[in-house]
Amino acid sequence: MLKQKIIFFSMKNYEIPFFEYTNKEFNYEMKYLDFGLSEETANSSKGYDVVCLMVNNLLSKTIIDIFQQNEIKLITLRSAGYNNVDLKHIWGKIHVARVPAYSPNSVAEHAVTLMLALNRKVHKAYNRTRENNFSIDGLMGFDMFQKTAGIVGAGRIAKVLINILKGFGMNILVYDKIQDKEYAKKMDIKYVDLKTLYKDSDIISLHCPLTPETVHIINKEAISLMKDHVIIVNTGRGQLIDSKALIEGLKNAKIAAAGLDVYEEEEHYFFEDLSNSFIDDDVLARLLSFPNVIVTAHQAFFTKEALKNIADVTLQNVNEFFTRKTLVNEICYQCESATCHKTKETMCF
């Protein structure tokens, strides 16, 4: 039996050992490309069965057509998010799978890291002491005990975060379309509407998926409803925040600080070393100029445990597709969500 061949785009050196280790079980033929996916590079897939992509690889109509011409049978994402895929165009042509949950702990812990760093000005203190400046003027924060955290989205990551923040003695408000009342009672949290969450929260953390309804869920109007000096943290998807509205909120001090692990146009910058270049995105450059903004380059997931899970599930997706003719982690356009209408005893099409 011939080995299935997998080609990886935007592969980083730190990912390869995890995939090599997991592949001992499957023995696939794998090729790693360190460059990204584009109309010019898509033909590198010729002769392969599977394409593996990162969340910043945009899967456009043109690229999908190239993959179809090259007889690609499966696209597997090394990510939970899939807003980079034109699902409507790919539907019925090539199957797409993802890694739905690689490490909720890693993302939740990173969100808390951003909250604490921003509140206690750790990044500013670090820079000062490196220059022998031991003044603490301007570094005052607040006790998180008995403050209110507003969590937008109540999935697995959010639930880990809630557990951590409860340990600080915080009050928790949650917005989600689906309300788990038993969980709310057990954790002593409160489901509220978005306006109430914006109005009453000292810290707001975003953990909802990117859908047409959640694009720019943080916008000018939303910010106007918030408490003065609110802290906003986003480890979800960049387009959940209207970056220009965020900048205005920071400029007029409505927003005390922002921690961003994601950005609307991040695919042009994140995961790349541009230290010998310059940022030609004026909005990103402006955000980076604020002393009360911390930007991390989509690293919330970046733990050993998460990378192992990503490699394991990605290659399991491939194995399932070719040997069992099922695909539990398939992204189903027909349902307009990541949860398929099928029972997963068969694939979506």
Assess whether 298 carries a catalytic annotation. Answer: yes
Task: Give me 311's structure tokens.
Answer: 């490699």
Options 89, 207, 298, 320, the catalytic residue: 298
- On whether the CB atoms of residues 179 and 191 are closer than 8 A, the answer is yes
Annotated catalytic residue 98: no
DSSP alpha helices (H): ranges in 215-302?
A: 220-225, 243-251, 282-289
Question: How far apart are alpha carbons 225 and 58 in whole angstroms?
Answer: 34
Q: Can you give the three-state secondary structure of 175-236, one letter per residue?
A: ECCCCCHHHHHHHCCEECCHHHHHHHCCEEEECCCCCCCCCCCECHHHHHHCCCCEEEEECC
Whether 29 is a known active-site residue: answer no
- Considering only CA atoms, which of 158, 159, 292 is closest in space to residue 235? 158
What 8-state DSSP symbol labels residue 52?
Answer: E
Residue 20's SS3 state is: helix
> Of the residues 89, 95, 110, 266, which is catalytic?
266
Which one of the listed residues 95, 237, 267, 330 is annotated catalytic?
A: 237
Positive or negative torsion for Cα 2, 8, 13, 14: negative
d(CA 218, CA 347): 36
Alpha-carbon span 120 to 124, nearest angstrom: 9
Binning the chain into helix, strand and coil, the percentages to the nearest 5 are 35, 15, 45
Residues known to be catalytic? 237, 266, 298
